[in-house]
Amino acid sequence: MRRSAENRALLTVNRRDFFQLHKLKPDHCGIIACTRDDDMPRLSANINDAISNAEILTGKVIRVYRSGPPSIS
């Protein structure tokens, strides 16, 4: 079953490949692309902050960084 059929966003640290995928197929359920961070509590908090501020994830790429605000496109 395709994940898009389950209406789930994708969380990844494989930023480059999924940015390319977004360009090729922008009709996805959302991509949350994170910078690799060994500080799991900080990473979790940054992801939570990023997705809490987004009204919808469909078709969007949310870039989550170790520090600084997320970028939504």
Domain ranges in the chain are 3-72
Q: Give the confidence band of 1 by pLDDT, cuts at 50, 70, 90.
A: very low
pLDDT at 33: 92
Q: Is the pLDDT of residue 49 over 70?
A: yes
Residues 21, 30, 43, 53, Cα dihedral to 10°: 140
pTM over 0.85: no
Q: How confident is the model over 34-47, as a mean pLDDT?
A: 92
Across the range 52-62, mean pLDDT stands at 88
Tokens of 18: 């999924």
pLDDT above 90 (res 47) = yes
| CA–CA separation, 36 and 57 (whole Å) | 21
